[in-house]
């Protein structure tokens, strides 16, 4: 649901999501970052090098589309991964928020270089589709945006090889929900594999679920066409 928010509301929402990410154990030390697009070519971002449990609205940094600081308290600098965030906005006009975290199950898939591309669970199929692993890139460098760019046109959720996860959405709540769905699905997949393997669904059932996205008001990019086994349920 699209809610009109002013800048103070957005800063409060960023801080709320930062605390949730920390409480959920998705970030340690200064891990993770969030950005939100404002209406006038400007962006808000979490500052670099700060625990997500400590961030308060006054610490949020305002930048322009080049990543230059427009407003910042106490000399705080934007997230070191801001180039990755800005590339998401450049490539995807429909995106209003970007979230990066290291949720342990999803990051485990990233470390194992294993895509989450089995169609096994209804909510994950409806909400995010398949989730690829973007190639390894050195954090904070332009290698990171270059590594993720080829995936951005078809995916709202990505794994970053040997690093973590990236989600995006029209607004911050949507980007955050996608990270929740990704992490829960990664945990469920791990459990299924411990139990002997995940049971992939039939093309017919996958297509039905993809058709329900409109009914649920789900926007964005999330393919429903990757591999599926012959004769599965």
Q: Which is nearer to ligand 13P, 79 or 174 (CB)?
A: 79
Question: With binding defined as CB under 6 A, does residue 72 bind ligand 13P?
Answer: no
Helix (H, G, I), strand (E, B) or coil at 78: strand
Q: Which is nearer to ligand 13P, 103 or 220 (CB)?
A: 103
3 state DSSP class of 131: strand
Tokens, residue 94: 């429909």
CA distance 91 to 208: 29
Site string for ligand 13P, 73-112 (x = CB under 6 A): ------xxx------------------x------------
Closest to ligand 13P by CB, 64 vs 191, is 64
Contact call for residue 33 and ligand 13P (CB under 6 A): yes
Site for ligand 13P in 108-147 (CB under 6 A): 139
The most distant pair of C-alpha atoms in the chain lies apart, rounded to whole Å, by 61
Give the nearest distance from C-beta 47 to ligand 13P in angstroms: 7
Minimum CB separation from ligand 13P for residue 60, in Å? 12
The two three-digit tokens of residue 171, written as one number: 């607004």
Candidate residues 31, 91, 117, 200; the one interacting with ligand 13P per rule CB under 6 A: 31
Closest to 221 measured CA to CA, from 162, 158, 176, 139: 158
**220 near ligand 13P, rule: CB under 6 A:** no
Q: Does residue 32 interact with ligand 13P by CB under 6 A?
A: yes
What DSSP state is assigned to residue 204? H
| Beta-bridge partner residues of 169 | 97
Give the full edge-to-edge strand order of the sheet including 97-101.
69-71, 61-64, 42-45, 33-37, 97-101, 164-169, 157-160, 133-134
Q: Which of 9, 28, 49, 90 touches ligand 13P (CB under 6 A)?
A: 49
The residue ranges that bind ligand 13P (CB under 6 A) are: 30-33, 46, 48-49, 79-81, 100, 139
């Amino acid at each position: 649901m699209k809610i009109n928010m002013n800048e103070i509301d957005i800063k409060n929402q960023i801080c709320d999501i930062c605390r949730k990410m920390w409480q959920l154990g998705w970030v340690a030390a200064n891990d993770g970052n969030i950005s939100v697009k404002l209406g006038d070519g400007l962006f808000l971002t979490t500052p670099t090098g700060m625990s997500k449990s400590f961030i308060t609205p006054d610490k949020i940094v305002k930048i322009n589309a080049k990543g230059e600081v427009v407003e910042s308290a106490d000399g705080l600098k934007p997230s070191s991964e801001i180039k990755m965030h800005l590339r998401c906005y450049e490539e995807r006009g429909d995106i209003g928020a970007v979230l990066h975290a290291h949720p342990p199950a999803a990051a485990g898939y990233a470390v194992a270089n294993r895509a989450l591309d089995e169609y096994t669970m209804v909510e994950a199929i409806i909400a995010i589709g398949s989730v690829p692993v973007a190639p390894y890139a050195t954090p904070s460098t332009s290698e990171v945006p270059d590594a993720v760019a080829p995936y951005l046109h078809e995916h709202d959720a990505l794994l970053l090889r040997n690093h973590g996860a990236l989600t995006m959405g029209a607004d911050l709540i949507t980007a955050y929900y996608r990270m929740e769905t990704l992490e829960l699905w990664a945990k469920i997949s791990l459990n299924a594999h411990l139990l002997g393997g995940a049971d992939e669904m039939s093309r017919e059932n996958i297509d039905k679920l993809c058709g329900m996205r409109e009914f649920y008001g789900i926007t964005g990019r999330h393919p429903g066409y990757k591999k599926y086994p012959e004769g599965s349920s």
